[in-house]
Amino acid sequence: KNEVEQSPQNLTAQEGEFITINCSYSVGISALHWLQQHPGGGIVSLFMLSSGKKKHGRLIATINIQEKHSSLHITASHPRDSAVYICAVRSPNSGYALNFGKGTSLLVTP
């Protein structure tokens, strides 16, 4: 069983909708990352969280350390938000390595 589970696996939304992607993990962590991967492979780091909430533009990331859960929210979604969103955690048990989820594939239609 992967230490990092994401849901949903696939998500289709209409432009303007509010989107939530969830990430659950089973180990103690020192940090959680949300990344965006566009077709063609390029990965961009969106957030690095160890507690609370961060906001950047229309993106909001939250983390609940006690519940071992994080969410990525996209407000007023746009077709250019279509991408794979990946959650990754850094655990003291795994040294410096990031442990990645399988990703959530998001398609936003006009």
Partner 1 sequence: EAGVAQSPRYKIIEKRQSVAFWCNPISGHATLYWYQQILGQGPKLLIQFQNNGVVDDSQLPKDRFSAERLKGVDSTLKIQPAKLEDSAVYLCASSLRTRETQYFGPGTRLLVL
How many residues line the site for partner 1 (CB under 8 A)? 23
Helix/strand/coil percentages in the chain, nearest 5 = 5, 60, 35
C-alpha distance across the termini of the chain, in Å = 36
Site for partner 1 in 58-97 (CB under 8 A): 86, 88, 90, 95-97
Looking at the DSSP assignment, which residues form a beta bridge with residue 62?
Answer: 53, 71
Site for partner 1 in 5-64 (CB under 8 A): 30-31, 33, 35, 40-45, 48
Q: Which is nearer to partner 1, 17 or 31 (CB)?
A: 31
Q: Which is nearer to partner 1, 4 or 106 (CB)?
A: 4
User: Would you state the structure tokens that stand for residue 48, as one six-digit string?
Assistant: 């690095």
